[in-house]
A and B are shown apart, each in its own frame.
Chain A
Amino acid sequence: MVAFRNTDAAGRTSGLLLRCVLYSLLALGLIVFDKRYDHLGEIRRFLSVAAYPVQVAVASPFEGWHWLRESVSSRDALRADKARLEAELRVANFRLQRYEALEAEAQRLRALRSNASGFAERFLIGDIMDLDIDAFRERVLVDKGARDGVFVGQAVLDAGGVFGQVARVEQLTSEVILLSDASHAIPVQINRNGLRTIAVGTGDMGHLKLPYLSTSADVITGDLVVTSGLGGGFPAGYPVGTVAEVRRDPAQSLADVVVRPAAALDRSRELMFVWLKPDAQAPPAAARAPVDTAAPPKAAATPNAAAAPKPRGAPVP
């Protein structure tokens, strides 16, 4: 059934070993240079531009299918969609009414504490390209890259909450590592009481873990987990997920807390790249030092804005 041609069956391929060694040494050299000296950024960027047509060619039939399905959706479906969107917009507007006042208050409180946890300043929408980069790592390719100002470590959100961060930037595309990747961690806090901890991915898109909470920590099922903004990478206060399960084993010192992500990690098609306000990126230690000396009791009394609700007429600087 599988018949190979016999035309060259007579002779050995001369110099197979030599060529094999040469190519292998070349590959090893690439690995070492790329890993140790990081000199290959430009080459990689150039190669990625060459690979872009392949990526687009693979992704475009799926995008075409999405487009086709949208463009042939019936009048009734469109009308139902419109009604639903209008209802959602109404609810969102109700919620927004108090938002500006609250944000101003939060700004004042933050200024009081000189907390440099950062506000989102600018957004850019990117589309996920329909490609499987790696079956074993939770990453997606997005059609925005260095050309659009995307940078490594940038926070990425979707409509539901925090989605992940940028792991690698090419000229035209970038790779976003999902919250749920087993090598990803994000500083968070429990919204109800301001308890700070770190959410770690599990390799499963369905849940994250909070592995560093003690068994006595005040966390219950249903708690909203938001970004704490510590570390400066992520803007503060965006939803990461809700606590789905808390297991406390009296024999262990740490509780087993499972969080269901707020972002639709497996379904989102559009992502938002976030730029933090430049002044919010200042090193927190330097920013906090003068305040601590000026008003030590206040700084000590409010370790966390969410933890200590202030009276309405809080002093304004």
Chain B
Amino acid sequence: MMRDEPVRRLPMALSALVALALSVLPLPATIDAFRPDFLVLVVFYWSIESPRAGGLALAFLAGLSLDVIRGVVLGQHALALTLMAAWATHLRLRLRVFSLLSQSLTIFALLTGYQFILFWVDGATGNPVTAFSRWLAPVIGGLIWPVLAGALSRLHDR
């Protein structure tokens, strides 16, 4: 059975690449802690927007590339991103009718879950990062979600 939904793999891959670049872009140390997880937000967006275009595969691959670039144990970001992207996909029908505020709050919850899985794997593999600033990224991510989602929907609606 063919669906009329266009499979938007190109904008998906492009936005993921740009987000990956943004997440390793050098920033001054003072604002570095305030950097949102761009790639995670982009993966969430595509999981909600078009899960059929391979949202989970994208999540897994994006997580794997984060693992390689950040040099942590292979599979850590992949696990966290896969689980949270699946949850976002599960919630997507509700998310679409949510108000902007509720959307942001849900994204905040998803990002916190993501961060918690990272935290847990960090601890389980023997190099815990207990810095408080790691819990800042979900807040920032929730705050910029409306802007990012708006920009991305404009990107592929054109």
Contact = CB atoms under 8 A, between A and B. Distances in A.
Interface of A: 1-9, 13, 16-17, 19-20, 23-24, 26-31, 33-35, 40, 43-44, 47-48, 50-51, 54-55, 57-59, 62, 130-137, 139, 167-168, 175, 183, 203, 205, 266
B73 A31 contact: yes
Given A9-B93, A31-B121, A135 B56 contact: no
B24 A28 contact: no
Contacts of A4: 48-49, 92, 95-96, 153
A34 B74 contact: yes
Contacts of B93: 9
A183 B127 contact: yes
Contacts, number: 146
A10 to B, nearest CB: 10
A7 B49 CA distance: 10
Interface in B6-51: 17, 20-21, 24-27, 29, 32-33, 35, 48-51
B82 A24 contact: yes
B60 A2 contact: no
Contact of B60 (A17, A26, A58, A133): A26
Interface in B116-158: 121, 125, 127, 129, 131, 133-134, 146, 149-150, 153
**Residue from the set B51, B68, B70, B90 with the largest chain A CB neighbour count within 10 Å:** B68
B89 A27 contact: no
Given A4-B153, A9-B96, A266-B29, A16 B90 contact: yes
